[in-house]
Amino acid sequence: MRLLILGGSAFLGRAVAAGALAAGHEVTVFNRGRTAPDVPGVRAVRGDRESQEDLARLAGHGPWDAIVDTSGYVPRVVGDAVRALADSAATYVFMSTINVFPDWPAQPVTDDSPLHDCFPDAGPDDGDYGTLKAGCERVVARDFPGRALSLRLGLLLGPHEDIGRLPALLLRMADAGTTRTLRTLAPGDPSSPVNPIDVRDIADFVLTAVDQGLTGGYMVAGTPANASTYGELLEACIEATGSAAELDWVASDFLQTQDVEVWSELTIWIPPGEVPWETDTSRAEAAGLRCRPLRETVRDTWAWLAADDGAVRRSYQPRRPHGLTAEKERALLAAWDARA
């Protein structure tokens, strides 16, 4: 199989490139060469997806069996790539998000639920993240008719994560007893559900989907059979890092009265009932989606961070800050003690 990845050097794109190479496929990546080093073994074509000249030059490197777009966020920009490459591949795989559904997370959604209303030529100021992704799906379906596949992704974790969520949890546990106290704030109820998906499982499903010639929309998230709990997530972080952290579970109603940001400072945590982790992945599962245990994802992410005697950890710069500072964690625990 010949694969073109728009992006291909960071997190999701990197996982797809690495998975395809490991499966014996030929991989071309198209990016500016600025975000991260390419996976060894890919054929790199440098360029900017917002440049018509660069896109026309890229098309000359084809054809491919499939294009995997991991870096599309604005319908107008995605449309330029789709049209420039329309004769260069059999399938266009667009990496979308579960946020394309206006009913989510307030109500259950399926693969066939209505998307946000966004016209396919919208610009960057014509909507929020989920709305624009819905417009991207529409332009791909319109200009790659009958050959478009949109994968609506849930929460992604795994090695090479550049967003900062799981690394923040791992680093916080690893630092317990050194730059932090052993006593570690754990939010809410340890039995509260979490159901992320490993980025490598998404990469595997992309190859499966292309091989089967799938088209249309699929929710690709943690499967019900592989659901876990927040307590298991934190315990896996402690185990992976060899930490002596002592978890102190602080009530969610108390945390909601404090000046603390859920999800970002209290990483991957939302108060009960606000975000349902349950997603209908039945269509993707029937097509071959499989999810590895969360503990494996945590272990492998720490192995990546700790590689080269900690060189990766020391140089790690996430796209946005996540996690509690040591000072804020101590202040929250002190306030919790005072209330108790």
Span 133-164, pLDDT tens digits:
999 999 999 999 999 999 999 999 999 999 99
Task: Please compute the mean of the pLDDT values over residues 192-221 and round it to a whole number.
Answer: 97
Which amino acid, residue 248? D
- Tokens representing 106 are 């307030």
Say which range, 64-68, 237-241, 298-302, 313-317, has the weakest mean pLDDT: 313-317
pTM: 0.95
Quote the pLDDT of residue 105.
87
**Which domains, and CATH codes, for the chain?**
2-153 (3.40.50.720), 161-196+226-275+293-339 (3.90.25.10)
Instruction: Quote the CA–CA distance of 188 and 165 in Å, as a whole number.
Output: 18
Q: What percent of the chain has pLDDT over 70?
A: 99
Cβ(139)–Cβ(120) under 8 Å? yes
Q: Decide if pLDDT at 325 tops 80.
A: yes
- Higher-pLDDT residue of 98 and 339 is 98
Q: What is the pLDDT of residue 310?
A: 87
* Class of residue 333 by CB neighbours under 10 A (exposed 0-12, middle 13-18, buried 19+): middle
Handedness of CA 186, 187, 193, 194 (dihedral sign): negative
Q: 122-137: buried (b, 16+ CB within 10 Å) or exposed (e) per residue?
A: beeeebeebbbbbbbb
- Please provide the average confidence, as pLDDT, over all residues in the chain: 95
What is the pLDDT, as a whole number, of residue 106? 84
Q: Sorting pLDDT into bands at 50, 70 and 90, what band is 108?
A: confident
Instruction: Say which amino acid occupies 237.
Output: C
At residue 340, does pLDDT exceed 70?
no
